[in-house]
Amino acid sequence: MRRTAARLADGREIIYFDDTPGARARVAVDTRDLPRNETLSQIRRDPLTGEWVIIAAHRQARTYKPPAGLCPLCPSAPERPTEIPEADYDVVVFENRFPSVSQNAVGETVSGLIPSAPGLGRCEVVCFTSDHESSFAQLTPARVRTVVDVWADRTEALSALPGVEQVFPFENRGDAIGVTLSHPHGQIYGYPFVTPRTEKMLAVAQAHGGPILGDVLAHERAEGTRVVASSQHWTAYVPAAARWPIEVHVVPHRQVPDLPALTQTERDDFAEVYLNVLSRLDRLYDGELPYIAAWHQAPAKVGRDLTWLHLEVFSTQRTADKLKYLAGSESGMAVWINDGTPEHLAERLRAASAG
């Protein structure tokens, strides 16, 4: 894989990751007239919960559901410059033009009852393919393997940036999830704090005396009723306490803190297992399932011995024509109610052809 870094017209970094043999050198220049990127994003801590909240009012101006001919994630054409100056690409990463947090965030740090600080971090966009009509599920295993390497590369890079405490790669797919750009892409957030979900998992692991996910994985593999797919290095299963109507966890058999710690063989194997899982998910309702795919990995500086890397894939689609909306119990009290059983979902996914 060839890695080429460059700058966009407003100074944001763009990095090309080429896996196509003989791919031409990346030398195109961004010709757009863009102002320098500076944000007023801020983090504020909720005094009732101790959780940080990101305030990013400038994101109201971000691109919203453009027609395919004006997609900013497609390659550039002479008459239509986009976020990617090249006429084609394999996988590309660039700094988000409308970031929630940024290395260019400005403002004061305030202590007291409601502490606040500049939203110092980084948000990146990851385009998996130049084909606007494709999807992650349609990528080849070789391309998925490239994406895994990209996630690992960016995890290491963002973890080393000033202010970044946790790196979160994820993908949103489908209008029902709230996607505003339909081109196949994901994002990576470098947060200036450890996220609430991760803090809670670390606390549980600490009380358990180690990463409890290892015990959960051994239990799921031994019982087998919720396992969807497995290989030499990974197991995908529906968690026993699934919160979402469709939820699958993809877990490596070896305890590693993050994506960079995966071996070459584990990365190869993940590509095969994950495509198997996505294929089954798309066959549940005979169409592309809207989903969020979220990587849970260790924070940059703490809890690395307590974290077991895993991918959580979930969907709000509870039937072929109905969505789950977060009601009072979920939104108000964070008490989840699932209308189906994890065992039945796992049975349906095993029965679905993997293609």
3-state DSSP helix/strand/coil % of the chain, to nearest 5: 25, 25, 50
Whether 149 and 213 map to the same domain: the answer is no
Q: How far is CA 193 from the centre of its chain?
A: 17
Q: DSSP string of 82-150?
A: -SB-SS--SEEEEE-SS-SS-TT-----B-SSS-EEE--SEEEEEE--S-TT--GGGS-HHHHHHHHHH
d(Cα 149, Cα 126) in Å, to the nearest integer? Answer: 12
What mean pLDDT do residues 247-262 have?
98
Whether 187 and 59 map to the same domain: the answer is yes
Whether 179 and 281 map to the same domain: the answer is no
Whether 232 and 189 map to the same domain: the answer is no
Q: Domain with 265 in it: what CATH number?
A: 3.30.428.10
Q: Which two tokens stand for residue 156?
A: 């290491």
Whether 243 and 99 map to the same domain: the answer is no
Question: Which of 149, 171, 195 is the last residue before a domain boundary?
Answer: 195
- pLDDT tens for residues 337-351? 999 999 999 999 999
d(Cα 169, Cα 152) in Å, to the nearest integer? Answer: 9
Q: How confident is the model at residue 64 (pLDDT cuts 50, 70, 90)?
A: low
- pLDDT tens for residues 257-282? 999 999 999 999 999 999 999 999 99
Number of structural domains the chain divides into: 2
Whether 227 and 119 map to the same domain: the answer is no
Q: How far is CA 269 from the centre of its chain?
A: 19
Whether 114 and 187 map to the same domain: the answer is yes
Whether 118 and 254 map to the same domain: the answer is no
Residues serving a catalytic function are: 185
Burial of 96 (0-12, 13-18, 19+ CB in 10 A): buried
Inform me whether the pLDDT recorded for 62 exceeds 70.
no
Whether 125 and 161 map to the same domain: the answer is yes
Whether 330 and 283 map to the same domain: the answer is yes
Inform me whether the pLDDT recorded for 256 exceeds 70.
yes
pTM value is 0.96
Q: How confident is the model at residue 60 (pLDDT cuts 50, 70, 90)?
A: low
Please list, in sequence order, all residues whose beta carbon lies within 8 angstroms of the beta carbon of residue 112, skipping any fewer than 6 positions away: none
Whether 186 and 213 map to the same domain: the answer is no
- pLDDT tens for residues 140-191? 999 999 999 999 999 999 999 999 999 999 999 999 998 989 999 999 999 9
Whether 247 and 191 map to the same domain: the answer is no
Domain hosting residue 81, numbered range: 2-195
